[in-house]
A and B are shown apart, each in its own frame.
Chain A
């Protein structure tokens, strides 16, 4: 592995891990504007992170090693995902072939599984309730993700995200094919659910709709900070997959050089800000759905994903 390849891998992983809090901060700031508030600084997530890392970590009595290790495992999983998906470069970086789309999905699952185990391991009712809620909805979300992967594999004939990016960027007919449009719509709904955006909004401390934050009630200090960071990284990764693989596969520089990789970081950030703007507008327009209606939302997402496969069959490989 030469120095340039290593540098590009570092840029890709570094961009995901370091820029994720910035995107979350910008989203929070813009959302505040739509609510006629000034909002926190876009650097607030970094300040929060620094605060969490300084604070004392308290571990509940009776909690096992899972409680402590879980945030680190999730962080490692997201860091690994950041180098196997087309986040910055349209070509596979040196370590990308270790997993395909399905492998990426499994790593997302690994991170979630450890977060759930840590919640249950805390021996407290509240995190266990959060974990229980989270799992009961994830059971509806995971099939959609798998079917979306099937849909992508049908269009491109492979389960490699880089090939998908390449096929969609080079063929407009593939981009506007019913299968791709439906897969994109299904993934967008899933993205709203996974990142806790309205109309689902799983983030925040509102008890009735709380899904994600319920799981980390017993975590504190550095461990809580890592969980927060993981949440922002997961959001960044899902945004990047949606943009680079499904919605806007164009615009990435394909030259395998360090300056091109840096330029691609700026391009990705630009695309991401556009997506954040769309999401902020959507959030201003939509009301939160009731908790038991989340499964309807996910059923719709699943239906669209299945219809994508159906459209591929009925419309003759379109």
Chain B
């Protein structure tokens, strides 16, 4: 394996491990760190591809990922749990770390099989081409299994990372304008989610009201 492939493989491995970590973590604060590290690895991969292909556009995309997903969004998410940072946890997952870790591995294998049957025939058979699809499935699993709003935002960010990963791997360079718009979209979604999360904390979730009436 040449150096380019080795670096790509190691960064891909890091992204895969970060997905496993996010699935098996039950506290929110380390999950925010986890998604920041995952975004850093994606930025590193894009930066490496920019260097390998001599593409200025990819370098700008790498910087955008670094600024928006590694720095800005984690800061915004952390502000929401500032007051209870060390206690904030996704309660329903607290006792099921083993199950979540094994589910993450199982979904990765299933995603790979689905990829082989559906998309693989249309893509060049380069090593690691299935990884973005696997990461997408991991993000979906997180959205499906977790209930906390912030954790679901993290799951959404993981999916966005998968799409960027797939974009740079398959197309090498989207027009910079599209990339920028996508990043601003993600930032917008995070901000809206945070506003909804605050609203829910202040006014309570609408679906809880009938339950309260029943118990009251």
Does A306 sit within 8 A of B, measured CB to CB?
yes
Range of interface residues on B (Cβ < 8 Å): 20 to 34
B12 and A313 contact, CB distance less than 8 A: no
8 Å CB contact of A178 from B13, B104, B109, B112: B13
CB-based nearest B residue for A316? B127
A311 and B97 contact, CB distance less than 8 A: no
Does A177 sit within 8 A of B, measured CB to CB?
yes
The complex places the Cα of A313 from the Cα of B9 at a distance, in Å, of 12
Does A173 sit within 8 A of B, measured CB to CB?
yes
CB distance from A286 to the nearest CB of B (A): 16
For A315, the chain B residues whose CB sits under 8 A away are 9, 12-13, 127-128, 131
Does B38 sit within 8 A of A, measured CB to CB?
no
Q: How many residues of A contact B (CB 8 A)?
A: 25
B105 and A314 contact, CB distance less than 8 A: no
Contact with A along B73-113 (1 / 0, CB 8 A): 00000000000000000000000011101101100110010
8 Å CB contact of B1 from A293, A303, A318: A318
B105 and A310 contact, CB distance less than 8 A: yes
The complex places the Cα of A295 from the Cα of B97 at a distance, in Å, of 9
For B16, the chain A residues whose CB sits under 8 A away are 307, 310-311
CB-based nearest A residue for B14? A178
Cross-chain pair count, CB within 8 angstroms: 76
For B131, the chain A residues whose CB sits under 8 A away are 314-315
Does A48 sit within 8 A of B, measured CB to CB?
no
Does B24 sit within 8 A of A, measured CB to CB?
yes
The complex places the Cα of A173 from the Cα of B127 at a distance, in Å, of 15
For A178, the chain B residues whose CB sits under 8 A away are 9-10, 12-13
For B24, the chain A residues whose CB sits under 8 A away are 296, 300, 303
The complex places the Cα of A309 from the Cα of B112 at a distance, in Å, of 12
B9 and A177 contact, CB distance less than 8 A: yes
8 Å CB contact of A303 from B104, B112, B134: B104
8 Å CB contact of B102 from A173, A303, A310, A316: A303
B13 and A181 contact, CB distance less than 8 A: yes
5 A-B pairs with the lowest CB-CB distances in the bound complex, closest first: A316-B127, A299-B98, A178-B13, A296-B97, A303-B101
A-B residue pairs in contact (CB < 8 Å), sample of 9: A176-B6, A298-B98, A299-B98, A303-B104, A306-B109, A314-B128, A315-B13, A315-B131, A318-B127
